[in-house]
Chains A and B, each alone.
Chain A
Amino acid sequence: MRVPTLAVLLATLVVMLAAAPGLAPFGDPTAPASGHVAGHYLEHAYHDAHTPNVVTVMIADYRSFDTLGETMVVFAAGLACALMLLPRGRRGRVPRFLHRKVNLIAEVIVRIMLPAVQIFAFYVIFHGHYSPGGGFQGGALLAASILLGRIVLGRSRSQAAFPTALGRPLGAIGFAVFAGIGLVGFAAGGAFLQYDRMPFALPPDMLRNWGILGIELGVAMAVMGTLVSIFDDLSVGGR
């Protein structure tokens, strides 16, 4: 490692260590982060959205506009990869390591693992109201299972499981689902992403519950499609 790099790293370390004592103590109830709205969220989350997992209610309901922005960032990152890599990549060849001879041990292990990972991913998405996880984690798990297949199972079988052409459209559809659910409440006279104004005959807290599920599905599709398309652009595009 060169000396300037080391100097920058050490300087950053010193700054971080100097700033660390300024942080609030772990679990401090008087810390600024636990002060303003945290108590309101903890008290009202179950009553508002009929969802025990407060983190999910915060991410997908109270701060869903923030989550919409995050989903857009992920999708934009995928588009940026495509724009940088694809224009020359239409002539690009598939790299050797993606269609070499399949390793038997790795293949057997992956074929046992893949269904378990995918089922767990759907569990994470649909059970996000009650346990840790949600659309983002579930979508990333689905994408990880596809990438594992891409690397281990060889090109033809992994393409049959999830074609490259499907990745970016799936990301766009997921983002559209998210924004579309937001627009339903908006069209019915509420605010953007105000689920309890959606025109269905359900009590408001159940409407928010279903709205959260719809948003999680949109996020999962967007994240999965985008991550797979980034991988495909990286491995096939460019050069």
Chain B
Amino acid sequence: MIDLLIAGLFVFAGVAAVVALVVRDLLAASVALSTFSFIVALLYVVMGAVDVGFNEAVLGAGVTGTLFVVAIFRTRRGSMD
């Protein structure tokens, strides 16, 4: 059961990463990236690296997302790619 949950987290992380790459709206991309960070933080905690998971949750899912949002507001919202 727990293996199934972990496998689901891995699949979800992969989906979030691909969405962050493919989507053209950069705001949506940064949200997808925060989602990815949060899932990865959960995976770190499952593997026993609680400190690393904590860091990832705070910095990856929280502060980095905020900085991305500010940078997007100061530039353009659409992706050139």
Contacts and interface: CB of A to CB of B under 8 A. Distances in A.
Interface of A: 1-2, 5, 9, 26, 55, 59, 95, 97, 124, 132-134, 136-137, 140-141, 143-144, 147-148, 151, 227, 230-231, 234-235, 238-239
Interface in B37-58: 47, 50-51, 54-55, 58
Given A141-B58, A144-B58, A239 B51 contact: no
Given A136-B55, A137-B51, A234-B71, A143 B63 contact: yes
B51 A230 contact: no
Interface of B: 21-22, 47, 50-51, 54-55, 58-59, 62-63, 66-67, 69-71, 73-74, 81
Contact of B81 (A5, A26, A227): A5
22 contacts: A55-B51, A95-B74, A97-B73, A132-B51, A133-B51, A133-B54, A134-B51, A137-B55, A137-B58, A140-B62, A143-B63, A144-B58, A144-B62, A144-B63, A147-B63, A147-B66, A231-B66, A231-B70, A234-B74, A235-B73, A238-B74, A239-B74
Main secondary structure of the interface of B (DSSP, over half): helix
Given A55-B51, A132-B50, A1 B22 contact: yes
A73 to B, nearest CB: 13
Contacts of B66: 144, 147-148, 151, 231
